[in-house]
């Protein structure tokens, strides 16, 4: 009722309409979605954050100064080191250079802990595109270049601190980003296929088919998730290679995650089913599968995209909780959940709070970003109403 009049002024004369069309810009549906999405500032920021996180995941080996399993027994529970730009020399002069200070380690025999104090005399020069540990990038080429690290490969630097075995938390978190963020995507992909298939059938046919599918959904969503996950995860043989465990965990998580997607797709189909263009397709002689996949599903793609975005964080959280409980991914695979396992005991938290802090922040950042993005997409999904 409040929409401004947009009627084609040349309605009176159909022959003029062709000429008029060239002056009115014709925006495609996706352009309209993009415009409306652009107005949602928080969602746009969230989109950048997510792209950033996936880039980290993709280039993990290159971005991380060290591998996930590089240990230095000397540096257990080393606190985060600072970065400086100006190096003061003992003779009073100074020069400009990225650096950290090395630690002086004193061992407290009684408390069985090491304490670290930065020593301004031990300057560890840092640099970009430095040589470091060799690795095989994307299973294709061998290199030892890292984006960032100490210029001397023998030096160690812990920007986010180290863990029980003296492993660099920053490197481990970068590698964990790959696993945790991809679990979200792959898991949602599986949920999506199940959800769309069952949801569209349920919504299109209605009646008995719908009743059966809806009861299944209710049963699945009534199950207490954590015990069920635990049961399923317990069935994973210990001897399995990490990648197989990884995919099994994804499958377990997504087998329970499809229900809300299916419900939403069903609801959309219910409302679409009464639309004239669906009847029109039927009267064109289209088969039921053609009506579902060619006429109805494309109408809700933008909604599906929004639903998927909102489903990803649930997957990430699920994986994190499973791994945290020790029944999901297991070392040597690193995910945020696996990292958090190290923060399970109180001593670790009191001595090395960074073990808890940084992986939790990463999870929160990812989940919030996906939620904001999903909200923005959901609002933008229907460009024709406003």
In angstroms, the CA 347 to CA 202 distance is 52
What is the DSSP annotation of 85-98? EEEEPTTS-EEEEE
The site for another protein, by CB under 8 A, has a size of 39
Is 257 exposed, middle or buried (CB count within 10 Å of its CB: 0-12, 13-18, 19+)?
A: buried
Structure tokens at 271: 């409302």
Q: Does 207 bind another protein (CB under 8 A)?
A: no
279 binds another protein (CB under 8 A): yes
Contacts of 6 (CB under 8 A, 6+ apart): none
| 242 counts as binding another protein under rule CB under 8 A | no
Rounded to whole angstroms, the Cα distance separating 166 from 172 reads 11
What does the block give as tokens for 102? Answer: 């090395």
Phi, psi angles (nearest 5°) of residue 128: -100, 155
Min dist CB 296 to another protein, Å, is 9
Q: Tokens 């349920």 identify what position?
A: 202
Q: In what order do the strands lie in the sheet with 113-137?
A: 84-88, 94-108, 113-137, 141-150
Identify which range of 52-60, 81-89, 286-294, 344-352 contacts another protein by CB under 8 A.
286-294
Q: How near is the Cβ of 42 to another protein at its closest, in Å?
A: 21
**In 274-353, where does DSSP find H-type helix?**
276-283, 288-290, 301-324, 336-341, 346-351
Nearest-approach distance from CB 276 to another protein, in angstroms? 4
String of contacts with another protein for each residue 129-168, x by CB under 8 A = ----------------------------------------
**C-alpha 23: how far from chain center:** 43
**Residues 70, 71, 182, 299: which binds another protein (CB under 8 A)?**
299
**Per-residue x/- marks for another protein, 25-54, CB under 8 A?**
xx-xx-----x-------------------
Which residue stretch of 23-31, 193-201, 253-261, 314-322 sits at the interface with another protein (rule: CB under 8 A)? 23-31
Question: Which position among 15, 154, 208, 347 is part of the footprint of another protein (CB under 8 A)?
Answer: 15
CB 336 within 8 A of CB 354: no
- Alpha-carbon gap, residue 150 to 77, rounded angstroms: 19
Residue among 72, 145, 164, 282 that touches another protein (CB under 8 A): 282
Residue 332 preceded by cis peptide, ω within 30: yes
Query: Cβ of residue 46: shortest distance to another protein, in angstroms?
Result: 23
Beta strands in the chain (DSSP E): 84-88, 94-108, 113-137, 141-150
List the one residue from 52, 128, 129, 277 that touches another protein (CB under 8 A).
Answer: 277
- Nearer Cβ to another protein, position 240 or 293? 293
Q: How many CB atoms lie within 10 A of CB 69?
A: 13
Instruction: Say whether residue 286 binds another protein (CB under 8 A).
Output: yes
**Nearest CB to another protein, comparing residues 12 and 73:** 12
For position 385 contacting another protein by CB under 8 A, the verdict is no
List the interface residues with another protein, window 246-275 (CB under 8 A). 275
Which is nearer to another protein, 14 or 92 (by Cβ)? 14
Give contact residues for another protein (rule: CB under 8 A).
Answer: 1-2, 4-12, 14-15, 17-18, 21, 24-26, 28-29, 35, 275-277, 279-287, 290, 295, 298-299, 384
């Amino acid at each position: 009722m409040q929409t401004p009049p947009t009627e084609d002024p040349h309605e009176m004369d159909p022959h003029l309409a062709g000429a008029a069309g060239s002056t009115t810009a014709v925006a495609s549906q996706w352009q309209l979605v993009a415009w409306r999405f652009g107005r949602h500032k928080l969602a746009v920021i969230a989109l950048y954050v997510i792209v950033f996180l996936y880039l980290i995941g993709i280039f993990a080996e290159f971005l991380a100064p060290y591998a996930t399993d590089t240990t230095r027994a000397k540096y257990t529970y080393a606190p985060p080191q600072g970065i400086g730009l100006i190096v003061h020399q003992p003779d009073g002069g100074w020069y400009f250079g990225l650096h950290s200070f090395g630690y002086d380690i004193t061992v407290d025999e009684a408390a069985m802990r090491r304490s670290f104090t930065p020593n301004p005399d031990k300057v560890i020069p840092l640099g970009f595109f430095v040589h470091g540990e060799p690795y095989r990038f994307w299973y294709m080429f061998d290199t030892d270049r890292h984006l960032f690290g100490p210029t001397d490969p023998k030096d160690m630097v812990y920007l986010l601190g180290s863990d029980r075995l003296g492993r660099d938390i920053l490197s481990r978190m970068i590698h964990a980003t790959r696993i945790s963020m991809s679990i979200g995507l792959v898991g949602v992909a599986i949920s999506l296929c199940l959800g769309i298939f069952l949801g569209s059938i349920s919504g299109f046919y209605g009646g008995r088919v719908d009743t059966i599918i809806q009861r299944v959904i209710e049963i699945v969503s009534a199950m207490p998730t954590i015990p069920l996950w635990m049961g399923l995860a317990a069935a994973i043989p210990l001897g399995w290679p990490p990648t197989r465990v990884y995919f099994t965990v994804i499958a377990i998580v997504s087998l329970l995650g499809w229900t809300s997607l299916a419900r939403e797709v069903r609801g959309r189909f219910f409302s679409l089913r009464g639309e004239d263009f669906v009847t029109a397709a039927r009267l064109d002689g289209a088969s039921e599968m053609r009506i579902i996949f060619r006429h109805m599903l494309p109408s809700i793609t933008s909604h599906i995209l929004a639903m998927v975005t909102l489903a990803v964080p649930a997957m990430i959280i699920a994986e994190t909780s499973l791994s945290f409980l020790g029944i999901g991914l297991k070392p040597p695979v690193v995910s945020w959940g696996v990292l958090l396992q190290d923060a399970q005991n109180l001593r670790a938290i009191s001595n090395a709070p960074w073990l808890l802090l940084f992986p939790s922040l990463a999870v929160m950042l990812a989940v919030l970003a996906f939620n904001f993005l999903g909200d923005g997409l959901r609002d933008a999904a229907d460009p024709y109403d406003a």
